[in-house]
Amino acid sequence: MSSIRIAIAGRSGRMARALREALQSDADFEPVGHICAGDDPLPIIAQADALLDFTTPAASVALSTLTAQARIVHVLGTTGFKPEDESKIRAAARHAVIVKSGNMSLAVALLAALVERVAAALPDFDLSIVEMHHRAKRDAPSGTALLLGKASGRAEIGYASLRGGTVVGEHQALFFGPKERIVLSHSAEDRSIFAHGALAAAKWGQGKKPGLYAMADVLGL
């Protein structure tokens, strides 16, 4: 099997650096370049089998149109989308594979599946989701917190967001019952977990039918 050609959206961000490092350690992939603000993205996209995108909502929506035209896999880890952004991404997914998640960690995908099962099994338990990130993270609740909330299927969820220091990411889903509680948690110690998850998604998406997929699909959950 030939190497999967990978383009990265952005160059200087935390995730762009983590993605570069992950690519250097995996012979299954070949980096073809970065797409930076102000650049013409088409020459890079034309060389790629997949685009890894952890940028901004506006940039990601624009790139989704281009990846749809090129029919390449778009691994989308950007968060903070508005409803109208989501509609445009769904439209792009009619023409290309888009793997979209608020968290590209494979373990978080499994955590979301566990949250879904507990929420279904214990409908009378209250659910709160607590998330903690570095001081520079803008969106709150985090994309991961919203992912876990969506997995629960609950309409009423208490969210708490903490910002400070250099925390990569911590999440807890707390189910409160009478005289007992269940705590499901995940701690990210290094951004490399998101990078390796994104590469797994890029590999999984090769040859799949166009559509909007999640990391649960990558894991077969």
**Strand, coil or helix: what is 6?**
strand
**Nearest to 200, CA basis, from 109, 111, 95, 117:** 109
Q: Per DSSP, what are the bridge partners of residue 187?
A: 170
Identity at 161, one-letter amino acid code? S
Q: Which of 82, 100, 134, 137 is catalytic?
A: 137
> Does the annotation mark 137 as catalytic?
yes
Where are the extended beta strands (E) located within 15-125?
29-35, 50-53, 73-76, 97-100
**Nearest to 52, CA basis, from 111, 5, 107, 88:** 5
Q: Which of 34, 74, 100, 133 is catalytic?
A: 133
How far is Cα 41 from Cα 67, in angstroms, rounded to an integer? 10
> Does the annotation mark 88 as catalytic?
no
Where b means 16+ CB within 10 Å and e means fewer, 51-69 reads bbbbbbbebbbebbbbbbe
Active site residues: 133, 137
